[in-house]
Amino acid sequence: MGILGWIVLGLVVGALAKLVMPGDDRGGVVVTGLLGIVGALVGGFIGRLLFGTGLGDFFDLRTWVLALIGSLLVLGIYRAVVRRRART
């Protein structure tokens, strides 16, 4: 998948992750896109470790599910770090 595909996948999956885990996050579209791209990479890594398969083609359902799982994980970690930093 090309770099443009990763960017589009990250933007869409980052927005989906924010729909699944709503909350008041700072950063807007740029942070959401970056979290989505990082989440897609994390999802591909997790898929390769657990199932022996990584991200496939852009239109493959496995790609979208793994990217969404990774984005949810990254979003949860991001929120935990931001909240902890705001308390101190």
- Contact assessment for residue 71 and residue 47, using Cβ atoms and an 8 Å cutoff: no
Q: Are 67 and 7 in contact (CB under 8 A)?
A: no
CA dist., res. 6 & res. 54, Å (int): 14
Which domain range does residue 62 map to? 3-87
Of 72, 74, 81, which Cα lies nearest the Cα of 16?
Answer: 72
> Is the backbone of residue 68 left (phi > 0), alpha (psi -120 to 50) or beta?
alpha
Total domains in the chain come to: 1
Distance CA 55, CA 20 (A): 21
13 or 1, greater pLDDT? 13
pTM: 0.82
| Tens-digit pLDDT profile for residues 58-85 | 778 888 888 899 999 999 999 888 887 7
Per-residue pLDDT tens digits for 16-39: 998 888 877 777 778 888 888 898
Given this model, what pLDDT does residue 68 score? 92
